[in-house]
Chains A and B, each alone.
Chain A
Amino acid sequence: MSPSFEKSGNELYEPLSLQRSFFTQSLTVVAFLLSAIALLPLLSLLSEIITQGIGQLRWEVLVSLPAPLGMKDVSNGFANAILGTLLMVFLACLFAVPLGIIAGICLAELGKNSIAANILRFSTVILSSVPSIIVGVFAYGILVLTTRKFSALAGGFALGVIMLPIIALTTEEALKLIPKEYRLASSALGASRFYTIFRTVLPAALPAVVTGILLAIARAAGETAPLLFTALSSQFWPPMLEKLGKLLQASESEAFFKTLQQLPATLVTPTPSMSVLIYSYAQSAFKEQNALAWTAALVLIGLVLITNILSRLVTNVHLKNR
């Protein structure tokens, strides 16, 4: 046997060279170390929100208005902000859900890889990555500057623009998962194109579409930047809801119609929201407001995380059953 063969033959039984095993071992340690450090902020965030927020979390906090500063024996809370957030998310949904689903249908059903669909998809993806503060500036430019008023309408519009691309893209994904047999069966029975889409394909994809809407709602509920200078904030009940309450109480028809007429105007007034409340209370110099900021964060994150996890679970179950 030649010496070179013998040499390489022995090499097979040698352990990995020191240099190579050091490289492999040390990189494993580095990767795990970095991942562990990356998890630290998340764990710290969740634990702080729970420990700091839970102390103040009482029923009265959820159902009462913010108390004036320095008053001791008045119940203090942020019910108006919870309702304001819900109101604006609702306004956003009115606008974003139908348009988002329509855009999703165009992307998935009407022109899958046509030029028009590609332009649409591209602008939807770009729209979804526009910073939310720019969306706020946009709503400020078209609604606040023209009406000269900070309003729930402007806030809701901004949130709607943020929700729209999320809904469109998740609807597209949802529709793509529906098997072609559904469409074939429907058209074989004589259904037209839109009948097939709206009565067969869309209902079959509904759980996944709802998931997308939930994700978008969770995202919009936590947005702050576009609300800072569109909806601003206030210490009172959102006027819309106050008027709605009066509408329910109104016994005479005259009073009823009078309140009904005032309803649209109530949307054009400053409206509180959870996220803006957290922002202003976090920077407040008063300890009790700081504490309330943590409680509000707990409530908000509860809402957002539960929606998020639920929607992911729904999608997973939905996919597994297929």
Chain B
Amino acid sequence: MSNITTSELNIGNRRGEQNWIENALTICVWGLAFAATTGILLWMSAIVFKDALPAIKAFGLSFLWSQTWNIGREEFGALPFIYGTLVTSLCALVLALAFGIAVAIVTSENFLPVWVRYPLAFLVELIASIPSVIVGLWGIFVLVPTIQPIQQGLYAHFKWLPPFSTEPLGFGLLAAIIILAVMILPTIAAISRDVLLALPQEMRSASMSLGATRWETIWRILLPAGCSGIVGAAILALGRALGETMAVTMVIGNSIQISPSLLAPGYTIPSVLATQFPEALEPLHVGSLMYLASILFAITLGMNLIAVSLVQAIARRASR
């Protein structure tokens, strides 16, 4: 690993003219780099907010809890979409955490030989690189038909429970939750695995030498020690789930309603953006969609800020 960067070598200071060129080039390079990342980020926030202004002026904050969405009468409210986004993402997170941490433990501890562990971790990470639209395609033709009988069974036997109180159509919140869980699992598994691998080997040895079994070590020592990293992974995954568009749009049923039942169809903010933007003509309709986009942007930005600073803080502590 190199510890010296070219800037610290202090080269290129011999001749005045070359120094001038160097400095100009340095400023140009920094300028381009900032314009490309920080600039685009700020520009993006400005554009989304600016185009949302007509709707912000028309509806104000009541947009957040209004339930009507009528394009013809130009009445718009965000609550069904916010509800759908939060319910699907949070349930998917709970589901993915259980499976993701299990995968992380199996692939980081010495249950299996290395030649099984590494391909296994690689295989799980492969899911992350499969385009979302293809996961959605699988959702429509494989997942929904598979879970349809399970949903029927839940409805038949647990009708009295609010989460299972409507006749299942196949497409709905439950399908979206499962597909989201599948898609965010690699994020949780990969980061948790890195966190567990980064814990010092002495921790395991110390615990084992005191007579703890392997699972007592994992449960009482490793997981609590890696807790902050796993929380960071979970927040990052939640950010992904909130913004996930295609797969959810394809299986959630796209129906503007708020139902306590997980078997009912729903709608999320990304999916309403995906389905309605191509046909949006009225300025107020476009503005309302932009308003929705800015709400989503703000939520995911907040999530990612927290997650990124948490993960970076841990990385800094580990490198020290």
A residues engaging B (CB < 8 A)? 16, 20-21, 23-24, 27-28, 30-35, 37-39, 41-42, 44-45, 48-49, 52, 99-100, 102-103, 105-112, 116, 119-120, 122-127, 129-138, 140-142, 145, 150, 161, 164-165, 168, 176-180, 183-184, 187, 191-197, 201, 218-219, 221-225, 228-229, 232, 275, 278-279, 282-283, 290, 293-294, 297, 300-301, 304-305, 308, 312
For chain B, the bracket of interface size reads 35 or more
Contacts of A100 in B (CB 8 A): 36
A140 touching B277, Cβ below 8 Å: yes
Given A100-B36, A103-B37, A225-B245; A44-B22 close (CB under 8 Å):
no
Contacts of A44 in B (CB 8 A): 138, 142
A20 touching B133, Cβ below 8 Å: no
B87 within 8 Å of A (CB atoms): no
**A-B contact count, CB below 8 Å?**
301
CA distance A99 to B198 in the complex (A): 33
B91 within 8 Å of A (CB atoms): no
Smallest CB-CB A-B distances: 5 pairs: A131-B243, A222-B131, A34-B102, A180-B2, A192-B12
Q: Which residue of A lies closest to B304 (CB)?
A: A129
- Neighbour of A106 across the interface among B33, B103, B244, B274, CB < 8 A: B33
B48 touching A141, Cβ below 8 Å: yes
B214 within 8 Å of A (CB atoms): yes
Given A135-B44, A137-B277, A300-B134; A193-B242 close (CB under 8 Å):
no
A-B contact pairs, 6 of them (CB 8 A): A32-B111, A102-B36, A103-B33, A106-B33, A196-B9, A223-B131
B30 touching A116, Cβ below 8 Å: yes
A38 touching B5, Cβ below 8 Å: no
B235 to chain A, nearest CB (A): 11
Beyond A41-B138, A183-B5, 6 additional contacts (C-beta under 8 Å) are: A102-B29, A102-B36, A131-B242, A132-B243, A134-B297, A179-B2
Given A20-B213, A133-B270, A187-B11; A141-B140 close (CB under 8 Å):
no
Q: Which residue of B lies closest to A200 (CB)?
A: B6
Quick one: CB contact mask for B1-45 with A, threshold 8 Å, 1 for yes? 111111101011000001000100110011011101110110110
List B115-150 residues whose CB lies under 8 Å from chain A: 120, 122-124, 126-127, 129-138, 140-143
Contacts of B106 in A (CB 8 A): 31-32, 35
- Give chain B's interface secondary structure class: helix
CA distance A177 to B2 in the complex (A): 7
B91 to chain A, nearest CB (A): 16
B246 within 8 Å of A (CB atoms): yes
B9 to chain A, nearest CB (A): 5
Contacts of B50 in A (CB 8 A): 141
B30 touching A282, Cβ below 8 Å: no
Contacts of A218 in B (CB 8 A): 129
Given A127-B40, A132-B243; A301-B99 close (CB under 8 Å):
no
Given A31-B106, A187-B9; A16-B124 close (CB under 8 Å):
no
- Neighbour of B246 across the interface among A279, A294, A305, CB < 8 A: A279
B38 touching A123, Cβ below 8 Å: yes
B132 touching A49, Cβ below 8 Å: no
Contacts of B297 in A (CB 8 A): 130-131, 134
B300 within 8 Å of A (CB atoms): yes
B308 touching A126, Cβ below 8 Å: yes
Contacts of B51 in A (CB 8 A): 141, 145
Contacts of A141 in B (CB 8 A): 47-48, 50-51, 290
CA distance A85 to B38 in the complex (A): 27
Q: Which residue of A lies closest to B111 (CB)?
A: A28
Quick one: CB contact mask for B292-312 with A, threshold 8 Å, 1 for yes? 010011001100110110001
- Neighbour of B5 across the interface among A21, A110, A123, A127, CB < 8 A: A110
A161 touching B99, Cβ below 8 Å: no
Contacts of A229 in B (CB 8 A): 274, 277-278
CA distance A196 to B8 in the complex (A): 13
CA distance A46 to B133 in the complex (A): 14
B84 within 8 Å of A (CB atoms): no
CA distance A197 to B9 in the complex (A): 12
A185 to chain B, nearest CB (A): 11
B286 within 8 Å of A (CB atoms): yes
Contacts of A102 in B (CB 8 A): 29, 32-33, 36
CA distance A38 to B106 in the complex (A): 12
CA distance A250 to B112 in the complex (A): 64
